[in-house]
C-alpha cells in the first residue's frame, strides 16, 4: 500500500551512525565525490525521511558511497524512478542517505543481433524503448510497470505490468546479468551476457525482489523482444465471471500466443454508494470512460456511449493476418461468455491513446477524486479464483461504504484496488478493508502482493503468508550478505 510516511515505529537498532558520525560520513563523501551530496531541505522534501541525497554517476561513485556508509554504518536507500507503491524508497528515521540512481541512465551497449542491451540502473523502461525506436532498432524491453520506473527499481521490486500475459515478469529471464555493489563495497557481476547459463546459484534472481536490501544494482543486461504489430480491442460483459472465463479460454487455445495484454476494468455500479453520491466519478468510471472516449473518438457516432460494464481491454500482437484470425476467435469466445459489446480501436492512433490512458490511469484517478487520498494495493490469486475475489471484495467494500476502483491484469489473476479516503475515520476503514482483501486472497491460494512488492506496506503480512521458516531463510540470506544491515533497513523481510 502506498499510504506510508517515511518514519518507523520501531526504535533504531544500536549501532547505526550517530548524528555526529553521519555528518562526518557526509563530509567524507562530499570530499570524495564532489557535488554529489545534498542535505538541502528543499531538495530533501521530495525524498522524505532521508538525511541526505547522493546522485552517483557511475558504479565507482556507488562504490565510494557504500565504502563510506559501511565504515560509518549509515543506512543507504537506493531510489530509482520513485514510482514504487509500498514504501520501498522511504527514508530510515531521517538517518539514511538516499542514493538517487536516476542520473545513471545511460544505455551502454545495444546488441541488436543478440537481442540484448546493457544499461545503467537508472535508465527507465520507457526511455529505453523510446531510444530503441529512435535508433530504428526493431526490438523493445517488454516489462512495463508504472511510467518512469527505472531498471534498478524494476529489479528491486520484481515488477511486472500489462505485458506479463505474453512476456512474464521481472522474475523471469529478462535480466540476464546485473552489476551490484555489495554492502562491503565489492562489485560483482552475477553472470555473463549469454542468454542462458547454468553456472551456479541464480544470483541475478537473488537481487530481483530484494528491494535494495542486499546491495545496489548499478548496471544490467536486458534481453529484448522483437517489436510486433499490435491492435487493441475492447470487450464488455454483464459480469466479471464471463470476462475472466473468456480470457482463460483464449489463453489456453492455440490463439493465446497472440495475446500480449488483457486488462480488466470492473463496472462501478454495485459499490461505494456513500462516496459515489458525493462524487460519482470514481476511478473506474474515469478509467472506462477514458478508454471508451478514446475508442469512440475514432469510431462511428453510433458506437459511442458504451455503458460502464465489466470491460476487458485486449492487446493482440503478430503479423496482421494472424491478428485478424485471432480477433475472430476472440470475438466468438467472448460472445460465448456473455460479451455484450466488442470493438477494435479503428486506428493505431486511437489504440495508442487508449493504452496511454490505461498506463496513466493511476495519476488520472488521483486528480479525479478531489480531496481524497488513495491507498493502492494489489493481490494475486490463481486465475480461476479471480471472479470470486472480485465479487467478494466488491460486496465487502460496498458494506464498508468505501469508494474504490478495481482494475487487474486478468490474464495472471492479478488484482489492483484503489481505496479512497478523506479523513482519519475513512483511512482506518480503508486500512482494515485492505487487510481483509489480503486475507481473502490468501484464502483463495493467493499472495498479498502480485507485483507491487513488500516495502514497508506489506511487511506485516509476509510471515503469515509464507510461514516463519521461509521468512527466516530470507533473513539468514540478508544477514549473510549485509551483516551490518546498512542496505535499506526496515523493508521487505527485515524485522525492523
| 322 near a copy of itself, rule: CB under 8 A | yes
Residue 412 within binding range of a copy of itself, rule CB under 8 A: yes
The secondary structure of 31-45 as a DSSP string is: HHHSTTEE--HHHHT
Contacting residues for 388 by C-beta, under 8 A, at least 6 apart: 444
Name which of residues 135 to 174 contact a copy of itself (CB under 8 A).
138-139, 157-160, 164, 168-169, 171-173
Beta pairing, strands 414-421 & 96-100? unpaired
Measured distance CA(144)–CA(260) in Å, rounded: 12
Question: Counting contacts by CB under 8 A, is residue 257 touching a copy of itself?
Answer: yes
* Residue of 170, 176, 173, 166 lying closest to 227 (CA atoms): 166
Crossing angle between the packed helical segments 283-297 and 348-359, to the nearest 10 degrees: 170
Residue 414, interface with a copy of itself (CB under 8 A)? yes
Q: Does 202 bind a copy of itself (CB under 8 A)?
A: yes
Q: What angle do CA 408, 213, 185 make, to 5 degrees?
A: 140
Q: Mutual orientation of helices 424-443 and 386-400 as an angle, nearest 10°? A: 160
Query: Residue 132 Cβ, how far from a copy of itself at the closest point, in Å?
Result: 13
What is the nearest approach in angstroms of a copy of itself to the Cβ of residue 151? 16
Restricting to residues 11-30, name those near a copy of itself by CB under 8 A.
none
Interatomic CA distance for residues 54 and 30, integer angstroms: 9
Interaction mask 366-385, a copy of itself, x per CB under 8 A:
--------------xxxxxx
Nearest to 406 by CA among 240, 292, 291: 240
* 251 interacts with a copy of itself by CB under 8 A: yes
Considering the rule CB under 8 A, would residue 425 count as an interface residue with a copy of itself? no
Q: How big is the site for a copy of itself, counted in residues (CB under 8 A)? A: 99
Positions in 204-223 near a copy of itself (CB under 8 A): 205-206, 208-210
Q: Interface with a copy of itself includes 341 (CB under 8 A)?
A: no
Return the residues of window 274-303 that contact a copy of itself according to CB under 8 A.
none
Least distance in angstroms from the C-beta of 155 to a copy of itself: 11
Give the shortest CB-119-to-a copy of itself separation in angstroms: 16
Nearer to a copy of itself, 240 or 308 (CB): 240
Q: Which is nearer to a copy of itself, 188 or 335 (CB)?
A: 188
Residue 413 beta carbon to a copy of itself: minimum distance, rounded to whole angstroms: 6
The CA distance from 110 to 107, in Å, is 7
Q: Give least dist CB 476 to a copy of itself, A.
A: 5
Q: Quick one: 82 or 94, whose CB is closer to a copy of itself? A: 82
Does position 328 interact with a copy of itself (CB under 8 A)? The reply is: no
42 is a site residue for a copy of itself (CB under 8 A): no
283 CB contacts (<8 Å, ≥6 apart)? 361, 364, 365, 368, 369, 404, 405, 418
**CA atoms of 257 and 77, how far apart (whole Å):** 40
x/- map, 469-488, a copy of itself, by CB under 8 A:
xxx-xx-xxxxxx-------
**Minimum Å distance from CB 168 to a copy of itself?**
5
Q: Minimal distance in Å, beta carbon 370 to a copy of itself?
A: 31
Q: Which is nearer to a copy of itself, 274 or 479 (CB)?
A: 479
- Specify the residue, 296 or 393, whose C-beta has the smaller distance to a copy of itself: 393
Question: Taking the complex as a whole, how short is the minimal distance between the CB of residue 39 and a copy of itself, in angstroms?
Answer: 32
Nearer to a copy of itself by C-beta: 307 or 319?
A: 319
DSSP output for 319-364: SHHHHHHHHHHHHHHHHHTTEEEEEE-SSHHHHHHHHHHHHTHHHH
Site string for a copy of itself, 106-135 (x = CB under 8 A): -----x-xxxx-------------------
CA torsion, ordered 52, 495, 64, 67, to nearest 10 deg: 120
Q: Single out the residue of 325, 306, 376, 257 nearest to residue 4, CA to CA.
A: 376
442 to 471: interface string for a copy of itself, x by CB under 8 A: x--xxxxxxxxxx---x--xx--xxx-xxx
For a copy of itself, the closer of residues 168 and 435 by Cβ is 168
Rounded CA-CA distance 193/87 in Å is: 32
Q: Which stretch binds a copy of itself (CB under 8 A): 275-283, 299-307, 320-328, 352-360?
A: 320-328
Number of H helices, E strands in the chain: 17, 18
Which residue number, 10 or 384, has a Cβ lying nearer to a copy of itself? 384
Cell matching residue 217: 544494482
Query: At 1, is the secondary structure helix, strand, or coil?
Result: coil
Q: Of 272, 305, 298, 296, whose CA–CA distance to 398 is shortest? A: 272
What is the closest distance, in whole angstroms, from the C-beta atom of residue 307 to a copy of itself in the complex?
29
Sign of CA dihedral 271, 274, 280, 283: negative
Beta strands in 210-272 (DSSP E): 216-223, 225-226, 230-237, 259-265
Residues between 176 and 195 with contacts to a copy of itself, criterion CB under 8 A: 182, 186-195
Q: Quote helix, strand, coil % in the chain, to nearest 5.
A: 40, 20, 40
Nearer Cβ to a copy of itself (186/347) = 186
DSSP state of 346: S
Which residues, listed in sequence order, are joined to residue 139 by a DSSP beta bridge?
Answer: 226
Which DSSP symbol is given to 82? S
Amino acid at each position: 500500500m502506498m499510504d506510508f510516511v517515511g518514519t518507523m515505529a520501531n526504535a533504531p537498532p544500536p549501532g547505526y551512525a550517530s548524528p555526529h558520525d553521519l555528518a562526518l560520513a557526509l563530509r567524507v563523501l562530499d570530499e570524495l565525490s564532489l557535488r554529489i551530496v545534498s542535505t538541502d531541505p528543499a531538495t530533501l522534501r521530495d525524498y522524505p525521511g532521508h538525511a541526505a541525497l547522493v546522485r552517483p554517476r557511475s558504479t565507482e561513485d556507488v562504490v565510494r558511497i557504500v565504502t563510506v556508509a559501511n565504515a560509518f554504518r549509515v543506512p543507504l536507500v537506493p531510489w530509482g524512478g520513485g514510482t514504487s507503491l509500498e514504501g520501498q524508497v522511504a527514508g530510515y528515521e531521517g538517518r539514511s542517505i538516499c542514493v538517487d540512481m536516476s542520473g545513471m541512465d545511460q544505455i551502454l551497449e545495444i546488441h541488436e543481433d543478440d537481442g540484448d542491451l546493457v544499461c545503467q540502473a537508472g535508465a527507465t523502461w520507457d526511455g529505453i524503448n523510446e531510444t530503441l525506436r529512435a535508433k530504428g532498432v526493431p526490438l523493445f524491453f517488454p516489462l512495463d510497470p508504472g511510467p518512469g520506473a527505472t531498471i534498478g527499481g524494476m529489479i528491486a521490486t520484481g515488477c511486472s505490468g500489462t505485458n506479463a500475459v505474453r512476456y512474464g515478469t521481472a522474475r523471469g529471464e529478462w535480466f540476464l546479468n546485473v552489476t551490484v555493489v555489495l554492502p562491503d563495497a565489492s562489485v560483482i557481476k552475477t553472470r555473463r551476457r549469454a542468454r542462458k547459463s547454468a553456472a551456479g546459484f541464480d544470483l541475478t534472481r537473488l537481487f530481483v525482489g530484494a528491494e535494495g536490501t542486499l546491495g545496489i544494482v548499478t548496471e544490467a543486461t536486458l534481453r529484448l523482444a522483437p517489436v510486433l504489430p499490435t491492435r487493441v480491442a475492447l470487450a464488455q460483459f454483464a459480469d466479471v465471471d464471463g470476462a475472466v472465463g473468456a480470457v482463460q479460454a483464449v489463453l489456453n487455445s492455440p490463439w493465446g500466443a497472440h495475446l500480449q495484454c488483457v486488462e480488466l476494468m470492473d463496472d462501478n455500479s454495485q459499490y461505494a454508494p456513500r462516496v459515489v453520491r458525493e462524487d460519482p466519478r470514481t476511478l473506474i468510471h474515469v478509467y472506462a470512460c477514458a478508454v471508451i472516449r478514446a475508442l469512440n473518438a475514432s469510431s462511428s457516432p453510433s458506437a459511442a456511449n458504451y455503458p460502464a460494464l465489466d470491460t476487458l481491454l485486449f492487446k493482440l500482437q503478430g503479423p496482421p493476418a494472424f491478428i485478424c484470425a485471432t480477433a475472430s476467435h476472440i470475438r466468438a469466445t467472448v460472445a460465448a461468455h456473455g460479451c455484450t459489446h466488442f470493438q477494435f480501436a479503428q486506428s493505431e492512433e486511437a489504440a495508442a491513446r487508449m493504452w496511454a490512458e490505461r498506463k496513466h490511469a493511476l495519476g488520472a484517478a488521483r486528480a479525479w477524486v478531489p480531496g481524497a487520498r488513495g491507498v493502492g494495493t494489489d493481490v494475486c490469486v490463481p486465475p480461476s479464483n479471480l471472479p470470486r475475489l472480485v465479487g467478494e471484495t466488491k460486496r465487502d467494500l460496498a458494506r464498508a461504504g468505501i469508494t474504490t476502483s478495481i482494475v487487474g491484469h486478468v490474464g495472471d489473476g492479478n488484482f489492483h484496488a484503489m481505496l479512497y479516503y478523506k479523513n482519519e475515520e475513512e483511512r482506518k476503514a480503508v486500512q482494515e478493508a485492505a487487510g481483509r482483501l489480503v486475507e481473502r486472497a490468501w484464502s483463495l491460494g493467493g499472495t498479498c502482493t502480485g507485483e507491487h512488492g513488500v516495502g514497508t506496506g506489506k511487511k506485516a503480512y509476509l510471515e503469515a503468508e509464507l510461514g516463519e521458516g521461509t521468512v527466516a531463510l530470507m533473513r539468514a540470506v540478508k544477514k549473510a550478505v549485509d551483516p551490518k544491515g546498512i542496505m535499506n533497513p526496515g523493508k521487505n523481510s527485515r524485522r525492523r
